[in-house]
Chain A
Amino acid sequence: MTLHGLPMQICHVSQFVNHVVVSSTSSTASIINRDSHSVLISLSLSIFSLSFPSSYFHFLGFQSCCPLAVSISVYVLVGIMANLENQYLKEEMIDDDYVLVDFEDLPEKKSSARNSSQEVDFDNLPEKQGLVRNISGENIYDANPSSKKCAKFPWHIKLKEDISLSDVVKEHVLPFLPAKALCRFRAVSTEWNKWISGPFLCHKQTTNFKDISGLICQSPGSDPSFISFNQDAYGIPRPSLRFLPEHVSIRSTCNGLVCCQSCSLWYLYYICNPVTKKWKALPNSNLNHGPETAIALAFEPTTFNFAAHYELVCAVPVSLNDISVVYFEIYSSRSNTWRIADTVCSEMDALKPDNSGFYMKGVVYWKTLFGVVLAFDLKNEQYGILRLPASSGLDGAFTQMHGELCYMLPQTEDGECLITVYGNLDMSLKYVIPLKPEIVGATVSDCQVLTCVNDDILIILLRSKVIAYHVKAQKVELLSQVRPEGFGNCLPYINTLVPVEK
């Protein structure tokens, strides 16, 4: 399961994009500093033309031996466009006059200033020329000649001094906020309203915001409900999922997207964002899927996944001449089609995967009835089997702790409960966390671990309530009372604004 290839590429591309943008801005700076006739011509070029220096073509040539070249170049272009758009917004935000208008006036002002450099009255320069002094630098309007030994900043860095706190917050802090807070902050000002409803913030927020915000739970036969880990910050509109055209059961969640399945005869899949109420019905699959089919939604929010593409991976058991095998059928939102992977799993003990899988870093994991984990690597489309420790069934849950895959398993004995955490690829024992009865508040006989938040808070379903157990602080928070019939399904959910294309 080597997954290093793609991140490396992306890293390379991202460095490159940064380079392009930086070099385009700094070349703007050097053009302005030059006193030649080319100034006018260069300045009349639009900012977009600056984004394609020769190094870009060199880069494409360099990559052309690689089969990914075409898709990477599309990534690059999208990245450049996204960055430029950002930059455009940034510049627009500072002050229209400051950047966009003054360029055209600049050469004229410079020459008039040079002609009469003796008579320039520094104290009475109009505001606009003060800005020109910032841009065009030392030799014309240097108000402070004694600062010769000081280093000089390129002009585009100077610009950042004037960004106000509210602009930094708008651009950089908002992407770290959950969807509920953002929907509320649309009422802050018209500018914030526009920014929060736009595609760039949605993309940045989906990429940055990673906190598990709550659980989407469903009892058999009823509407799904949401248990928030922080009611002021995280939430979805109620009643949830009523915007879908039919009654559904929740099946899988991933980075803000929710996969549901209709309860009717056709078992159609729906992908939706419960905050924005945008949804899409997937086309019919080639194999027969039912309510028990093992599925997992795989959505990786990255800088280059601007269109928020996702995959739905399904492990479908099929009988062929009395031999049971598992086929992997994958829906891709890029092509809007289903396809069956070449690899076929015929290992007996992996044939009964749990119906809701866990996606992390390019791999999907399903628990099985036989104490093993069926894993499927999306990039290479290969499956693998991980052995779980003996005596573990379906009670445990996968989670991410310290950036690694972990499997948490509760073990109850004489009213006390131990949570054992297994990790690394060999699923060896990593930690044992005792739930102290005096903290939990009761003897524990029936306990299910749902997920782990911030590497520290265990979300646990006891018989009649959902609690958050803070391991370091050794305290318990009651999140929700549970109705006696319990939940059929209870999935961790991240409160993002991820877009869903029809």
Chain B
Amino acid sequence: MAIMYALKSSDNEIFEVEQKVIEQSETIKKMIEDGAATGEIPLQVSSKTLAKVLEWCKQRQHKTVENENDDNKGKRKKERDEDDDIKEWENKFSDELKADKDVLFDLLLASNYLDLPALLSFLCQLVADMVAGKMPEEIRRMFNIENDFTPEEEKAITAEHGWAFQP
């Protein structure tokens, strides 16, 4: 019988999750180890985002369980197939996120807050691919960053790295 934990989203929705799934979050794992995870675990994550987080965790959990059950015979072939399956699932997952940047950014914050290293680097790669070709102005708008350079400073820094602004 799997141990279940109740996670409470910031909008007070309860998610019942198996320990193995949620332990991927270093934050919650530490909490469970410390014996602090009694009752509902309140998280500053919206239910929409938390659902996405758990979708990811369940997929990862699924993969590790299957690998443990494998014997070595035909494992290579199976691994290749599984890798393809996971790639396909990840592509679908990232396509959904690319279509809705607000969810993507919320998920990025949540993966940092819950300390999910695999999800965090997956999302970072996704965001990095998205912004790699952008201009500083677009970056400021996208992430709400104030331009605190004086016009002279900005001119100097743009000139110093002029090559990086040209195709």
Residues on A lying within 8 angstroms of B by beta carbon are 22, 26, 147, 149-154, 157, 160-161, 163-166, 168-169, 172-178, 180-181, 183-193, 208, 230-233, 235-238, 402
Contacts and interface: CB of A to CB of B under 8 A. Distances in A.
Interface string B115-131: 10000110011011001
Contacts of A168: 108-109, 112
Contacts of A152: 36
Contact of A192 (B42, B121, B145): B145
Contact of A160 (B108, B112, B136, B165): B112
A154 B34 contact: yes
Nearest to A177: B128
B106 to A, nearest CB: 9
A184 B136 CA distance: 7
A447 to B, nearest CB: 27
Interface stretch (B15-23, B47-55, B57-65, B155-163): B155-163
Interface centre among A168, A183, A184, A230 (most CB of B within 10 A): A184
B154 A161 contact: no
B31 A149 contact: no
Contact of B113 (A161, A186, A238): A161
A165 B148 contact: no
Contacts of B27: 153, 157, 160
B128 A186 contact: no
Interface residues of B, number: 50
B112 A150 contact: no
Contacts of B1: none
A150 B30 contact: no
A178 B30 CA distance: 34
A189 B142 CA distance: 13
B108 A188 contact: no
For the complex, would chain A's binding face be called helix, strand, loop or mixed by DSSP majority? helix
A160 to B, nearest CB: 5
Given A153-B36, A173-B131, A189-B149, A184 B165 contact: yes
A163 B112 contact: yes
Given A149-B40, A152-B36, A187 B161 contact: yes
A169 B165 CA distance: 21
A237 B163 contact: yes
Given A147-B42, A166-B143, A184-B136, A235 B164 contact: yes
A153 B148 CA distance: 35
B67 interface: no
Contacts of A160: 27, 112-113, 115
A151 B37 contact: yes
Given A165-B105, A168-B112, A189-B148, 16 more contacts: A149-B39, A151-B36, A160-B27, A165-B143, A169-B108, A173-B108, A181-B131, A184-B165, A187-B161, A188-B139, A188-B145, A188-B147, A189-B140, A231-B167, A232-B167, A235-B164
Nearest to A191: B148
A149 B38 CA distance: 7
Contacts of B125: 176
B133 A150 contact: no
Interface centre among A153, A165, A188 (most CB of B within 10 A): A188
A231 B166 CA distance: 8
Contacts of A181: 131-134, 164
Contacts of B39: 149-151
A236 B161 CA distance: 10
B132 to A, nearest CB: 4
A149 B36 CA distance: 11
B41 interface: yes
A196 B124 CA distance: 17
A161 B43 CA distance: 9
